[in-house]
């Protein structure tokens, strides 16, 4: 198997860091919500700002990094009923058209997200009537959207280069192959479903 290029290694690092940050947000949200429930029950005093941190910090991190990771791994939902029946060249053209639409949308999201983030940073925006600051996490929107744009460009390059609209999904499946120890101690290769 060929060694990954520098760009591929950088992509693997970015995906790994994004997964770690998203998982940390999930863990922090779980701990925060459980601690809030315990404090409310045991001490009759909830943890201030739990709803705001959940809605304005943890969820945007999870959602926007999740969108990037789905694009990077080719695991977004597909309507394959018709697409898989198209001739190969039509499938490539339809895929390229879809990715160009994705680029336009996410560039727009990044642009407007950046403008909103700058405005909230200038105002030091908070979550409604609470004092929980939300302006720092709003920058996840343009950053993650630009990550989707970059990943889409890399994916488009691969599709045009190979003529295979499934190249991103196939690579993600190959890269995520599992190694499982069987009941007799043998190592089995299992592909992600």
| pLDDT tens for each residue of 57-98 | 999 999 999 999 999 888 887 777 888 888 888 888 988 999
- Residue 180 pLDDT class (50, 70, 90 cuts): very low
**Residues 102-158 pLDDT 10s:** 999 999 999 999 999 999 999 999 888 888 999 999 999 999 999 999 999 998 998
Q: Which two tokens stand for residue 29?
A: 């949200």
Helices (H), the chain: 6-43, 50-53, 59-73, 80-83, 88-123, 140-162, 167-175
Tell me, what's the pLDDT at 188?
Answer: 41
- Residue 186 pLDDT class (50, 70, 90 cuts): very low
Q: Is the pTM here over 0.75, yes or no?
A: yes
* More confident of the two residues 182 and 59: 59
**Residues 9-26 pLDDT 10s:** 888 899 999 999 999 999
Distances from the Cα of 159 to the Cαs of 11, 60, 100, 162, in angstroms? Answer: 17, 30, 12, 5
Domain boundaries, the chain: 6-164
Q: Which two tokens stand for residue 17?
A: 């860091």
Tell me, what's the pLDDT at 176?
Answer: 53
CA 76, distance to chain mean position in Å, is 10
Tell me, what's the pLDDT at 105?
Answer: 97
Mean local confidence (pLDDT), 172-179: 51
């Amino acid at each position: 198997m060929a060694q990954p290029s520098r760009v591929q290694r950088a992509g693997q690092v970015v995906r790994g860091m994004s997964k770690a940050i998203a998982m940390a947000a999930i863990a922090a949200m779980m701990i925060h919500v459980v601690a809030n429930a315990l404090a409310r029950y045991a001490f009759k005093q909830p943890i201030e700002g739990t709803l705001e941190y959940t809605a304005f910090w943890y969820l945007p991190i999870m959602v926007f990094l999740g969108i990037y990771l789905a694009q990077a791994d080719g695991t977004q939902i597909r309507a394959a009923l018709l697409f898989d029946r198209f001739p190969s060249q039509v499938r490539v053209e339809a895929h390229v058209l879809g990715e160009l639409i994705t680029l336009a949308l996410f560039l727009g999201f990044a642009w407007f997200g950046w403008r909103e983030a700058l405005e909230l940073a200038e105002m030091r925006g908070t979550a409604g009537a609470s004092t929980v600051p939300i302006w720092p996490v709003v920058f996840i929107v343009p950053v993650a959207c630009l990550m989707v744009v970059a990943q889409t460009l890399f994916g488009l390059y691969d599709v045009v280069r190979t003529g295979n609209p499934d190249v991103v999904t196939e690579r993600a499946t190959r890269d995520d192959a599992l190694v499982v120890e069987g009941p007799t101690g043998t190592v089995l290769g299992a592909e992600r479903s």
